[in-house]
Amino acid sequence: MVINKQLQNEWRKPAVHLVTGGRGVKLHVEESGNVQGQTLLFIHGGSQCHLCWNKQIHSELASDFRLVTMDLRGHGLSEKPKDGYGEAQLWADDIHAVIHELNLMQSILVGWSFAGIPILDYIRVYGEKDIGGIHFVGAITRLGRESSMVDLGVDTLQFSTSFFSDEPIIRINALDQWLKQCVHHKELSQEEHYFFLGCNVIVPAYVHQGIFTRQVSNDDLLTSLTKPVLVTQGMHDRTVNLAVGQRIAEITPYSRLSLYEEAGHAVFWDQPERFNHELREFIQSIALN
């Protein structure tokens, strides 16, 4: 029994990797959990980083699954080049590099918010053959002025121009206000708030500018997906409108929608126990098919 506990602790020690993505950008990647288990590749939202998944990485999921997190280009501890945020090929190359360098074949891609875009960039370029399924979490799948007006919450649209500002105090204030609406059932503690704010403010304004000036519609891709899809949406999400998750589930084959009555945009932070349980069930359902 002692040996088993020691092995379990070994499984949970994080390993840090520096993966070379599209156009040579260095990407920060961490992995922990059970090295023999099904792999989950967690991809954070815009202006976030790998740390947003702490309530998944440091949970019972680590006993059974190989847990991998990556910082997207321009975010967290990954490199932040001045350009390259408007090119689908580069986002696709980044995820492809992580999957192949770390041998994450048939992994489940778990993407929050903006992460829906690079996940679909990857599938458009490289196809679905190397992944086992997709979990869209409060995710968006299209970009552009008209799409944003429909898909994003009113408060988020009001903050959005400030996210692009080159004036640090303007961006910090906007991010500070936006974070307060990411959870629903209770306010972030002071520690949690500044934890998230720190992750956000290190993302340069030019990254936001490059991301959100893209014009993307992935409806054609969603309707042709062949791998299982779980769509999770907080019913009190003030960043991505509830109708977005419903729409994704409606047009995507082999998909299932899970609505959280007491959660906001950060569903996995609002209700981590339920989120982790449903993620486990989703993985198990894939294994049975």
Mean pLDDT for back-to-back runs of 10 residues, the chain (289 residues): 42 84 98 96 96 97 98 98 96 98 98 98 98 98 93 85 86 88 82 90 93 93 98 96 97 98 95 98 91
Q: How many CB atoms lie within 10 A of CB 19?
A: 18
Cβ-proximal residues to 274 (8 Å cutoff; 6+ apart), any chain: 260
Pairing of strands 131-137, 216-217: unpaired
R_g of the chain, CA atoms, integer Å? 18
Give me the helices (H) in 16-141, please: 54-57, 61-64, 88-101, 116-126
Q: Which 3 state secondary structure label does DSSP give 68?
A: strand
Give me the pLDDT at residue 11, please: 47
Asked if residues 60 and 137 have their Cβ atoms less than 8 Å apart, the reply is no
Phi and psi at 66, nearest 5°, equal: -85, 120
What are the structural domain ranges in the chain?
Answer: 2-288
Q: How many CB atoms lie within 10 A of CB 118?
A: 22
Q: Which tokens go with 261?
A: 């009555």
Euclidean distance between the first and the last CA atom of the chain, given in angstroms as a whole number: 33
Give me the pLDDT at residue 12, please: 54
Distance CA 222, CA 237 (A): 22
Cβ-proximal residues to 155 (8 Å cutoff; 6+ apart), any chain: 178, 181, 238
Cβ-proximal residues to 38 (8 Å cutoff; 6+ apart), any chain: 64, 65, 66, 106, 107, 108, 132, 283, 287
* CATH number assigned to the domain with residue range 2-288, chosen from the 4 options 3.40.50.1820, 3.30.300.30, 3.40.630.30, 1.10.150.120: 3.40.50.1820
| Amino acid identity for residue 117 in this structure | I
Query: Any idea which residue has 């640090």 for tokens?
Result: 168
Distance CA 229, CA 109 (A): 10
Cβ-proximal residues to 37 (8 Å cutoff; 6+ apart), any chain: 64, 65, 66
DSSP assigned state of 167 = -
